Structure 1
Amino acid sequence: MEKNSKGSGFFAGLIFGGIIGVIIGFILSQKSGKFKDLVAQGREAIREAIEEGKEAAARKEA
């Protein structure tokens, strides 16, 4: 049987996109307060993306 590997690419894209977003936020932030806010937002976005990915994978398996 052939396994569908699209899910792993999707998760990798989510993680990679989140990391790129955080890096761009680091570069563009001018004040340390804004920097800390951007880091927190980036972490939250990554957590949400991972959670959504897990839910999508669970729905697909069911």
Structure 2
Amino acid sequence: MEELNKLRTENECLKEKINSLEKELQDYRVAVFGILNPIQNSINELLVEVVPKEKLFKKTT
């Protein structure tokens, strides 16, 4: 019985650690998106300036 309680406690600790890591991962995802989104917007703006819209949105068949 003592071993079972020990395993349950360990299991709860591991669940808390996983939750903490998932939150940390989500924070990193938000940070990366916050960095990449403005870069992507800048690239899109540059493409619009450099490439005529007709060619940019032209269907290739």
TM-score between the two structures when normalised by the length of structure 1: 0.50
Could you list the runs of 5+ residues in structure 2 that have no partner in the other structure?
A: 36-61
Return the letter of the residue paired with 2:18: A
For CA contacts below 8 A with separation 6 or more, give which structure has more relative contact order.
Answer: 1
Return the letter of the residue paired with 2:4: K
Secondary structure in 1 matching 2:22: helix
Are 1:39 and 2:16 counterparts?
Answer: no
TM-score between the two structures when normalised by the length of structure 2: 0.51
Return the letter of the residue paired with 2:29: A
Paired residues in the alignment total: 33
The list of structure 1 runs, each at least 4 consecutive aligned residues, that deviate by more than 4 angstroms after superposition, is none
Mapped to 2, the partners of 1:43 and 1:36 lie a distance apart of 11
> 1:49 deviation in Å?
0.4
Secondary structure in 2 matching 1:31: helix
Note the aligned Cα RMSD (angstroms): 1.4
Are 1:55 and 2:31 counterparts?
Answer: no
